[in-house]
Structure 1
Amino acid sequence: MNLKLLSLGVFSAVSVSPFLMPSFTPKAAAGCVAVDVAAQVAVDGSRTRSQSNNVNQRFDPNCSGGSVTSVGNQVCVSTKCEQRRTSNQSVSGNGGYNTGGRNINIKVNPRVHVYNRAADPNFLNKR
């Protein structure tokens, strides 16, 4: 009899625990989100990279619920590539519903430079 009661008690605790767990875990809270994704690809005859990507992300005080996304790509195939990019993001949201969470800023900005000796005007002179 005690084994049946113990089994019933364990079963009851296990079956109810998924409903009790959310009350023990802290809630996720976020302010605002800014995402910048930009790729720069250069295939040229220069051995030095000439690429820059400047990203500024600003959040209003007490920002909550706002989001902004910026996407940009630059591709250059030439004898000499110069790539310059500036992105300014400003995020505001409903401060009246501030969750107290942190603002999230994400920057994904790969820069790829490939030297192409066929595009180098001075390649034959360097040998």
Structure 2
Amino acid sequence: MNLKLLSLGIFSVVSVSPLLMPSFTPKAAAGCVAVDVGVQVAVDGSRTGSQSNNVSQRFDPNCSGGSATSVGRQVCVSTKCEQRRTSDQYVGGNGGYNTGGRNINIKVGRPIHVYNRAADPNFPFNKK
């Protein structure tokens, strides 16, 4: 008799526990996401590159579930390259509804500079 009651009790707890578990777990909260990817490639006759990538990412205080993505690519092949990139992102809110989620900002900036002595006017073999 005790074994039947014990089995019935365990079965009751196991069958009801999935209904109770969500009340013990924290709620998911979504913020907003801003992603900026900037690639700069310069192949020139300068030994030092002249590249800059300035990124600003801002979020509305009530941001919930929004996203913004920006991709910029600059390629220069010359005797002298100067590359300047500016990106400004703003992700708006959701009409005063704030879930309390964290906003995520991702900035990927990759300047690549390759010295090409054939394009260097000061290289000894290039002078005429």
TM class by smaller structure = 0.7 to 0.9
TM-score by length of 2: 0.77
Q: Summarize the alignment of residues 1-127 of structure 1 with structure 2, pairs less than 5 Å apart.
A: 24-124=24-124
Question: Paired residues, what number?
Answer: 126
Q: CA deviation at 1:93?
A: 2.3
Sequence identity, in percent?
83
Q: CA deviation at 1:99?
A: 1.1
Q: CA deviation at 1:23?
A: 5.5
1:29–1:124 CA distance, 2 compared to 1 (3 A): same
Distance 2:22 2:40 in 1: 44
Q: CA deviation at 1:95?
A: 4.0
1:121–1:97 CA distance, 2 compared to 1 (3 A): same
The code of the aligned residue for 2:46 comes to S
Does the 8 Å CA contact 1:64/1:95 hold for their aligned counterparts?
no
Distance 2:28 2:14 in 1: 25
Structure 1, unaligned runs of 5 or more: 1-9
Runs (4 or more) in structure 1 with deviation over 6 Å come to 13-21
Distance 1:14 1:40 in 2: 58
Distance 1:91 1:76 in 2: 31
Q: CA deviation at 1:62?
A: 1.7
Q: CA deviation at 1:14?
A: 9.2
Distance 2:47 2:14 in 1: 64
1:97–1:45 CA distance, 2 compared to 1 (3 A): same
Does the 8 Å CA contact 1:30/1:104 hold for their aligned counterparts?
no
Structure 2, unaligned runs of 5 or more: 1-9
The code of the aligned residue for 2:39 comes to A
